[in-house]
Structure 1
Amino acid sequence: MRINILSVVLLAILATGCANGVKPMYDYGEYSESFYAMKKDTGEASESEWKTALEDVIQRSDNRGLRVPPGVYANLGYLYLKVNDTKKAVSYFKLEKDIYPEAVIFMNNLISKVKAQG
């Protein structure tokens, strides 16, 4: 009986000790909330808030040594594309495809369309 209790206590301590060192893969910050607000109340103000939230996600990820979550660079590039800042848009599309190889075909298509439009 004493051995079983001791075993359970040791396993609990071991499991708790290991969980403290787990580093998250991504930090989305206020991404979801700001995206929802933008879709709910369309307009320049909500898009500006979403842009700020995306930039914050990138900054927080850099500060914490995490990868920027999938889609963040692409979404930020899209926002720059909407205001005709094609250089920044393409640079963010390239960042997205560099970090996430599965997005290469989609990002290359976007980049080629942007370049074709001038």
Structure 2
Amino acid sequence: MLMKAALPLAAIALLSGCATKPQALYNYGTYSESYYAYKQDTSAENLLAMQQAILTAIENANDSVSKRVAPGMYANLGYIYFKQGDTKQAVHYFEMEKGLYPESAHFMDRVIEKVRKAEAKGAKS
């Protein structure tokens, strides 16, 4: 009789241990909000706010469970630097995206090639 009563209690205890909330793989910080604000109003102020949100999320990645920067963060940061005219920093962050997420290598290589062509064209002018 005691065994029959213990079995449901053991099952409940076992299942309640599985009810923990899963941890997020990446910490986006305020990136989503800043990205939305930038898409609504593409002002320089919103671009800088998005840039800062990305930099903060990258810095805080070490505090996250996965210790990894979210996919696309370095690429987006590279794009921001490109828009600001800093092609060297843009390529640096595109390379970081490619290194962290090899599946993006083909796309990042094409973007880097276009940045370097734009850079060379600007140097000729």
Measured against the shorter chain, the TM-score band is 0.7 to 0.9
CA distance in 1, matches of 2:17, 2:43: 51
Decide which moves more: 74-83 or 6-15.
6-15
**Residues 24-35 of structure 1: pairs in structure 2 closer than 5 A:** 24-35=24-35
Alignment of 1:1-118 (within 5 A): 1-16=4-19, 19=20, 23-64=23-64, 66-118=67-119
Q: CA deviation at 1:12?
A: 3.2
Q: Helix, strand or coil: the match of 2:69? A: coil
Q: TM-score, normalised by structure 2?
A: 0.82
Task: Give, as a single letter, the amino acid of the residue that structure 1 aligns with 2:57.
Answer: V
CA contact (8 A) 1:27 1:66 kept: no
- Cα deviation for residue 54 of structure 1 reads 0.5
Give every structure 1 segment of 4 or more consecutive aligned residues whose post-TM-superposition deviation is greater than 6 Å.
Answer: none
**Percentage identity across paired residues of the two chains:** 39
Cα distance in structure 2, aligned partners of 1:39 and 1:14? 42
Query: Distance between the aligned counterparts of 1:10 and 1:78, measured in 2?
Result: 50
CA distance in 2 between counterparts of 1:101 and 1:90 reads 16
Normalised by the length of structure 1, the TM-score is: 0.87
- Letter of the aligned partner of 2:36 in structure 1? Y
Unaligned runs of 5+ in 2: 120-125
> Aligned partners of 2:113, 2:73: CA distance in 1, in Å?
20
Structure 1 portions without partners, runs of 5+: none
Alignment root-mean-square deviation, CA:
1.8
The alpha-carbon deviation at position 14 of structure 1 amounts to 3.0
